[in-house]
Amino acid sequence: MSLDCDRAEAVFAASTDFTVGLEEEFAILDPETLDLVPRFEELRDAAAAEDPPLFERITGELISSEIEIISGRGEDVHEATAQQRDARARLFALTRRRDALLAATGTHPWADYREQPNIDTEHYRRVVEGLQYVARRNNSFSLHVHVGIRGLDRAVAVCDRLRPVLPVLLAVSANSPYLDARDSGLHTARTQAFTRTFPRCGIPDAYGSWAAYREYIEFLVGTESIVEYTQVWWSVRPHFDFGTVEVRIADAQSTAQESEALAGLIVACAAQAARDHDDGVPQADHPRRLIEENLWRAIRFGQDGSLIDLDRARQYPAAAAVERLLAWTAPVRAELGIDPAFPELNGAQRQRRAIEAGAPMDEVFAAAVGETQDTYVEEARPS
């Protein structure tokens, strides 16, 4: 990855507003035990031999028990979603042929992180060497959404405006109550284990301009704190290679419908933030310590708790989070044709209801895996 800030300026100057790229991370499971199994390299090589179009959409993540598919650039969220559906269908067909299963929850409930081998790439060797326990501890799965934004000053402004939105999106996406073979008591243990552990992660500062963000990146490089800009793991960041704002806050979603709805909502939030910036809509610069209060509430209680309206210093039910975001983004959603539909309960709520009813961990997870198997391929098949 280039740390050339001049090149980043050129990339963003040529970017197109509201193009979309989707990244979905899946756990690779043994179909009998539902344990994590390190088969990424096998599946990647099988795709290269059996399905070259799929091979172009597969990437590796930190551990060999994880596989990611990417949509590539879509001119809008609808094209990106169509491309992702095709990639999903191909991937799930490949895993069936290879006698493997895929799961899409933010964490694996009982996997021991100490037993998970890391993939052998220069980037991840560097991550593990640099972060040690912090990197090895991170066995998590998420949804990332890239939204094209023209111009780096605008991209930084969009990131700034999305800061207070991040905990709200997290509450909507929460889907990881288990960690280390225990009920964590949280709605998103992934966020606690990853976002609050990694350096330069979670809610970023408000930078105000590309000049200030560039100064920050160059400080990190100059002090040998990072060697590639992707080592800045903020939950929203400008992506220098793609000319996008990347939103990284969400847990992986157990159903395809939720993944697509969440992606659409995130695109709408980024696009509305850009429109608000262009129109000069005032933006409160909330301190990170206040936004962090909402982040903790989202981690702990998800949509079963309450969030804080930071502008009014009042609580509101987190169950109203989707409606609030839909109301804010209504203008740009009408422009872009985005109309996401969410179930009454999100993934964490469904799992927590089963936990409260006395279901054991393996049954709760098996039900989530079943949701993934039933939904991620129902709307597309390999061509």
DSSP 279-307: TT-------HHHHHHHHHHHHHHGGGSEE
pLDDT for position 91 = 97
Tens digit of each residue's pLDDT (9 = 90 or more) over 29-69: 999 999 999 999 999 999 999 999 999 999 988 889 999 99
Query: What does the alpha-carbon distance between residue 346 and residue 118 come to, in Å, rounded to a whole number?
Result: 30
pLDDT for position 1 = 40
pLDDT exceeds 70 at position 380: no
More reliable by pLDDT, 119 or 367: 367
Mention every residue, 6+ apart, whose C-beta is less than 8 A from residue 127: 62, 135, 231
Question: What pTM, to 2 d.p., does this model score?
Answer: 0.95
Query: What does the alpha-carbon distance between residue 194 and residue 235 come to, in Å, rounded to a whole number?
Result: 11
Query: What does the alpha-carbon distance between residue 162 and residue 319 come to, in Å, rounded to a whole number?
Result: 20
Query: What does the alpha-carbon distance between residue 70 and residue 47 come to, in Å, rounded to a whole number?
Result: 14
Give residue limits of the domains in the chain.
5-374
Q: Which two tokens stand for residue 213?
A: 């963000």
Summarize the confidence of residues 224-230 as an average pLDDT. 89
pLDDT exceeds 90 at position 229: no
According to CATH, what is the number of the domain 5-374? 3.30.590.20
pLDDT for position 81 = 98
Q: 299, 348, 305: which is closest to 176 by C-alpha?
A: 348
Tens digit of each residue's pLDDT (9 = 90 or more) over 140-168: 999 999 999 999 999 999 999 999 999 99
**How many Å separate Cα 80 from the centre of its chain?**
15
Tens digit of each residue's pLDDT (9 = 90 or more) over 295-331: 999 999 999 999 999 999 999 999 999 999 999 999 9
Query: Sorting pLDDT into bands at 50, 70 and 90, what band is 3?
Result: low
Task: Give the rounded percent of residues in the chain with a pLDDT score beyond 90.
Answer: 86
pLDDT for position 60 = 87
